[in-house]
Amino acid sequence: MAITHPSIKSTDGKHASVTTFPKDGPPPITVKNLTMAYGTFVLMKDINFTVNHGDIFIIMGGSGSGKSTLLRHMLGLIEPAKGEVWYGDFNFTKGEPEQREEMLRHFGVLYQGGALWSSMTLAENVGLPLGEFTDLSQGEIREVAALKLALVGLMGFEGYYPSQISGGMQKRAGLARAIALDPEILFFDEPSAGLDPISSRLLDDLILELRDNLGATVVVVTHELASIFAIGNNSVFLDAESKTMIAHGDPKDLLAHCTDHRVQTFLTRGGEDNKTEKSARQHG
């Protein structure tokens, strides 16, 4: 018996609808006038963007620009100083705790490092959300966990512990857990961090495959240019100096057409500044 779509229980004990974000409805994610602050210190302000169905949306910017902090705001782990996060037609920021919890069950999250429980096997890690949010039996949970691990290239590793596998495999196991409930929206925080270029490229390919197979919308925090151009079709650029977003759109379009030197410097690894310095030396 192949079980590919576990039925998720809602907070009232009933089963949630299969599709929360229909393609003919509003965009799955809309961020409106968001201000991120710690007390009186404003990290970012006036953040506005929309994530469309099927996007792989990149949150990018230099160090200290608040990329991961924005992701935490979107997940409700940090409350905004101002503004709102909407999922479809639901105001997540203003929602009741029970409503927010139910919405979160339609998300899958891959944290930095994979965040696997070291005392559990890979299958047990993947089975955690299945045991908590579905009515599946233990045998069915094991079957689904094995299927999800196979989808990320880890067939046969169900009984391994995180310490027994490589960093890249740990990331893939974390991804298998993130897709355990067939989420409609996936959030990845620096998924390629610490990986070698080959493992990073394989993970990018896997993210694309899962987006297509699940029909999911994906939000990725990353500063890795190779990943940004390989998988991203929409983005927002956060600038630490001005404390706001200074560009949004397809990263490839931003590279070709954005005239802001800060964006160009980031997307060319400083190549824009290098060209300016070289030109100045030639004409000095």
- The β-bridge partners of 84 are 32
What's at 248, amino acid-wise?
H
Per-residue pLDDT of the chain (284 residues; tens, 9 = 90+): 344 455 555 555 544 444 578 888 899 999 999 999 999 999 999 999 999 999 999 999 988 899 999 999 999 999 999 999 999 999 999 999 999 988 988 999 988 766 789 999 999 999 998 998 888 999 999 999 999 999 888 999 999 999 999 888 898 899 999 999 999 999 999 888 878 888 889 889 989 998 998 889 999 999 899 999 999 999 999 999 999 999 999 999 999 999 999 999 999 987 654 444 434 333 44
- Neighbour tally for 189: CB within 10 Å: 21
CA-wise closest residue to 202 among 235, 236, 168, 177: 168
CA-wise closest residue to 93 among 74, 112, 116: 74
Instruction: Write down the pTM of the prediction.
Output: 0.86
Helix (H) or strand (E) holding 61: strand 56-61
Tell me the C-alpha distance between 102 and 12, whole Å: 9
Looking at domain 29-106+183-282, its CATH architecture is 3-Layer(aba) Sandwich (3.40)
| Cα-based distances in Å from 231 to 50, 149, 182, 187, 269 | 18, 22, 20, 14, 18
- Token pair, residue 103, equals 């919405």
Question: 39: Cβ–Cβ under 8 A, 6 or more apart, which residues?
Answer: none
Annotated domain spans of the chain: 29-106+183-282, 117-182
